[in-house]
Amino acid sequence: MIKKKINILNLKKKFFNLKKRNKRIVMTNGCFDIIHAGHIKIFKESKKLGDILVVAVNSDRSIKKLKGNSRPFNKIKDRLSVLESIIYIDHILVFNSLTPKNIYQKLKPHIITKGSEYHKSEVVGSLSITKNNGKVILIKMLKNRSTSNLAKKINKYI
């Protein structure tokens, strides 16, 4: 399997070269703790918007800060293994902060995507992207598809 994980320095170099060749770069981000159909739809629709899709994924430490000590359900090694197998994803960047705001400011992708449960103004990095002539695009979510919903269903059977 091709390794898709990349560090920010190498990704920044890659972005520079891609932009010189007029390639459209799309990014999305999340925990991706338990991959479900909703995630796949986001990846698929995001990839359609550009030439390269980069997924920024929260580290285990970041998820614990955001969601509590019981999370993540799957450690980063396992999440990366699943994400690397998804054909729509070109590169994966792991981050430790609570949000990828600094990543978006440094890399300046052409498009940031998120699920439609957000408003564009709530999307982390939206200001820095739009002021650099980029776009924030919300992708219509599949109903009742979330890791939290899956966890609730599983807990009923435990």
Quote the pLDDT of residue 117. Answer: 87
Torsion from C-alpha of 107, 24, 112, 126, nearest 10 degrees: 60
- Predicted confidence at residue 26, as pLDDT, reads 98
Which overall architecture, per CATH, does domain 8-156 show? 3-Layer(aba) Sandwich (3.40)
Give the pLDDT score at 23: 97
- Decide: helix, strand or coil at residue 77: helix
Q: What are the Cα distances from residue 15, in Å, to 19, 23, 27, 94, 152?
A: 6, 9, 11, 16, 39
Mean pLDDT by 10 residues, the chain (158 residues): 90 96 97 93 98 98 94 96 97 97 96 92 93 95 68 72
pLDDT confidence of residue 156: 76
pLDDT score at 158: 74
Domain boundaries, the chain: 8-156
